[in-house]
Chain A
């Protein structure tokens, strides 16, 4: 049974529609990440779950109970804000205990709860300091402590890591995941960083312009994007989206990729997918992730359909762990991910292996997935 349900949620500010009917649900203990570019409505969605913004239409249920009209403090949620929102005039300990103080929890009980949370987050030595005396990472921990101490049914995180430097961000990411595994509380997490979304989530909801683009597990979102937007947004470097044509030869369907001044690459699709048959001779968008386009030696041995073609390498970018090579197909720069010591030189021709089991096809007009 779903624990947090969002049912056809709508939100408008005046005539501007921010959320245009979003429906989601997450099981108890799940980690739901709302991801999308700025202005997609993800933070607004989180604020409506928190009760900080009233909804225009639809329903929010937590544990089967409708919470639309409940005050934020009555929804049994806790929120970690992007700016941490620590009360500047209170010490760390007072910050953590403020909610309990308001609810009239007796002092000994408060002190014990503070001590528990401080131990868990390793901030015991900071309890008497003011927020202005803390570093970014410490503030982040205190903000989480203030949320944890409530023992809520749902945690809400609003881009909690975006104010940290790159290294600390990765450390805190791991820490949030560890906390989630230990506490098992349901989390809704907003981010614009697709790597955070992939690494943390049990479910990802990709939003754009107030509509849900796709909802699924990280693997589903990554491997089976429903449209060009999701394919392009998730993954770094982004998926290659190449204008192509579906052809046919003696052995079955092929995908034709144009090349500069040479005849097009023709890749056999093997057992031609039925979904592609209506597109024969028509343009499609061929999507292949950089890791599915590699040097023949590192090609996936388990893949059933790997086709190799010679490509003109324009740029080589060694990244340490991998080497990225850029070639030009269908008039666009296409990134291939090679092993670190692959021998490729810019300006030469090298064979690249296309793992066609991982390839996806989109209709260029509707931008929706075909196959």
Chain B
């Protein structure tokens, strides 16, 4: 290859690369802009927002809106901030994620390593659960929660989220365990390990990536859920999504946008943290399931 053409090729390469980066940066800005607006305005006094220019940095930096959103903002009829509802959500999400993940792992274990007649039919029906719209089950679910005496309570929310998440968690774990060598299970059987010993000692320690995927998926879905939260909670079990709605939609007084922004970020923070901490496992785990399943 002669020199000039090589130079042209390099120059074309540089242009192409610059173009790709420009497009990527454009999209990064596009996606990060809303977060920027929320963050910037949550750190301004309210009168600065009223003057317009949502994109400007604050003249006076303040964390007062955050404190107000957390502990004193008017939610519904009470001026108690988002804190109690945040705790409600934690108390609902942690057990619901733990139980649905554990049961999903057990289901996946049975559906792949303890095959029984009709196991694929059972799996197919569990998969179907992933596609049932929430709205359809609202009334039957309300009736069942009522019969169980769990209506309007945190345990009631845990139950409905666990049941609803089971389809997904089972799908994740089944596909992951499908690729897990059956000879390992057989070796453990010959070693005398019981059903649960095999699960706990052999399978679970090798399930790191899929546990991360399932936990992220379940945590995000349950934390962000609004419909079940608004339908099945009562006074002392309202989750944060519903509380945030009550904060933002309160019709009395002045709209405290800075407090609303701070509240919205507070409500989104746990899912953000979960993603940032374990996001790379999420992608890796999803790929593993997708390719091998």
**Chain A interface residues toward B at CB < 8 A:** 47, 50, 52, 71-73, 77-79, 81-83, 85, 87-89, 98-99, 102-103, 146
In the bound complex, residues from chain B placing their C-beta under 8 Å from that of A52 are 186, 189-190
> How many B residues are at the interface, by size bracket?
10 to 19
Q: How far is the CB of A351 from chain B (nearest CB, A)?
A: 54
Cross-chain pairs A/B with CB under 8 angstroms, 14 sampled: A47-B186, A72-B189, A73-B190, A73-B191, A78-B190, A79-B186, A79-B187, A82-B183, A83-B181, A85-B186, A87-B184, A88-B184, A98-B193, A99-B191
In the bound complex, residues from chain A placing their C-beta under 8 Å from that of B188 are 87, 98
**Chain B interface residues toward A at CB < 8 A:** 181, 183-184, 186-193, 197, 201-202, 205-206
In the bound complex, residues from chain B placing their C-beta under 8 Å from that of A73 are 189-193
* Contact indicator A81/B187 (Cβ below 8 Å): yes
Q: How far is the CB of A146 from chain B (nearest CB, A)?
A: 8
Given A72-B190, A79-B190, A98-B188: A88 and B183 interface contact (C-beta under 8 Å): no
In the bound complex, residues from chain B placing their C-beta under 8 Å from that of A103 are 192
* Contact indicator A89/B206 (Cβ below 8 Å): yes
Q: How far is the CB of A205 from chain B (nearest CB, A)?
A: 22
In the bound complex, residues from chain B placing their C-beta under 8 Å from that of A77 are 190
Given A81-B186, A83-B181: A89 and B191 interface contact (C-beta under 8 Å): no
Q: How far is the CB of A333 from chain B (nearest CB, A)?
A: 41
| Distance, CA A15 to CA B206, complexed state (A) | 36
Looking at chain B's contact residues, the main secondary structure is helix
In the bound complex, residues from chain B placing their C-beta under 8 Å from that of A47 are 186
Residue from A78, A81, A98, A102 within 8 A of B183 (CB atoms)? A81
| Chain B residue at minimum C-beta to C-beta distance from A50 | B190
| Chain A residue at minimum C-beta to C-beta distance from B192 | A73
| Chain A residue at minimum C-beta to C-beta distance from B202 | A87
In the bound complex, residues from chain A placing their C-beta under 8 Å from that of B184 are 85, 87-88
Residue from B183, B193, B206 within 8 A of A85 (CB atoms)? B183
In the bound complex, residues from chain B placing their C-beta under 8 Å from that of A102 are 191-193, 197
Q: How far is the CB of B209 from chain A (nearest CB, A)?
A: 13
In the bound complex, residues from chain B placing their C-beta under 8 Å from that of A87 are 184, 187-188, 201-202
| Distance, CA A99 to CA B187, complexed state (A) | 9
In the bound complex, residues from chain A placing their C-beta under 8 Å from that of B192 are 73, 99, 102-103
| Distance, CA A83 to CA B187, complexed state (A) | 11
| Distance, CA A52 to CA B187, complexed state (A) | 10
In the bound complex, residues from chain A placing their C-beta under 8 Å from that of B202 are 87, 89
A50-B186, A85-B186, A89-B205 are known contacts; what are 10 more A-B pairs with Cβ within 8 Å? A72-B189, A73-B192, A81-B186, A85-B183, A88-B184, A88-B206, A89-B206, A98-B193, A102-B193, A102-B197
Q: For the complex of A and B, list the 9 residue pairs with the smallest distance between their C-beta atoms, beginning with the closest.
A: A73-B192, A99-B191, A89-B205, A85-B183, A85-B187, A81-B183, A102-B192, A72-B190, A85-B184
In the bound complex, residues from chain A placing their C-beta under 8 Å from that of B191 are 73, 98-99, 102, 146
Q: How far is the CB of A160 from chain B (nearest CB, A)?
A: 12
| Distance, CA A82 to CA B189, complexed state (A) | 16
| Chain A residue at minimum C-beta to C-beta distance from B184 | A85
Q: How far is the CB of B182 from chain A (nearest CB, A)?
A: 9
In the bound complex, residues from chain B placing their C-beta under 8 Å from that of A98 are 188, 191, 193, 201
* Contact indicator A83/B190 (Cβ below 8 Å): no
In the bound complex, residues from chain B placing their C-beta under 8 Å from that of A85 are 181, 183-184, 186-187
| Distance, CA A103 to CA B184, complexed state (A) | 18
In the bound complex, residues from chain A placing their C-beta under 8 Å from that of B187 are 79, 81, 85, 87, 146
| Chain A residue at minimum C-beta to C-beta distance from B189 | A72
Q: How far is the CB of A114 from chain B (nearest CB, A)?
A: 14
| Distance, CA A315 to CA B205, complexed state (A) | 58
| Distance, CA A47 to CA B186, complexed state (A) | 10
B184, B187, B193, B206 interface centre (most CB from chain A within 10 Å): B187
In the bound complex, residues from chain A placing their C-beta under 8 Å from that of B190 are 50, 52, 72-73, 77-79, 99
In the bound complex, residues from chain A placing their C-beta under 8 Å from that of B201 are 87, 98
Q: How far is the CB of B184 from chain A (nearest CB, A)?
A: 5
In the bound complex, residues from chain B placing their C-beta under 8 Å from that of A78 are 190
| Distance, CA A88 to CA B205, complexed state (A) | 9
| Distance, CA A18 to CA B195, complexed state (A) | 27
Q: How far is the CB of A311 from chain B (nearest CB, A)?
A: 50
| Distance, CA A82 to CA B264, complexed state (A) | 56
| Distance, CA A132 to CA B269, complexed state (A) | 38
Q: How far is the CB of A40 from chain B (nearest CB, A)?
A: 20
Q: How far is the CB of A1 from chain B (nearest CB, A)?
A: 26
| Distance, CA A85 to CA B193, complexed state (A) | 14
| Distance, CA A79 to CA B185, complexed state (A) | 12
| Chain A residue at minimum C-beta to C-beta distance from B197 | A102
Q: How far is the CB of A168 from chain B (nearest CB, A)?
A: 20
Q: How far is the CB of A360 from chain B (nearest CB, A)?
A: 40
In the bound complex, residues from chain B placing their C-beta under 8 Å from that of A79 are 186-187, 190
| Distance, CA A47 to CA B192, complexed state (A) | 16
| Chain A residue at minimum C-beta to C-beta distance from B194 | A102
Q: How far is the CB of A248 from chain B (nearest CB, A)?
A: 59
| Chain B residue at minimum C-beta to C-beta distance from A77 | B190
| Distance, CA A32 to CA B85, complexed state (A) | 70
Q: How far is the CB of B181 from chain A (nearest CB, A)?
A: 6
| Distance, CA A89 to CA B201, complexed state (A) | 9
In the bound complex, residues from chain B placing their C-beta under 8 Å from that of A146 are 187, 191
| Chain A residue at minimum C-beta to C-beta distance from B186 | A52
| Distance, CA A102 to CA B190, complexed state (A) | 11
B181, B188, B191 interface centre (most CB from chain A within 10 Å): B191
A77, A82, A99 interface centre (most CB from chain B within 10 Å): A99
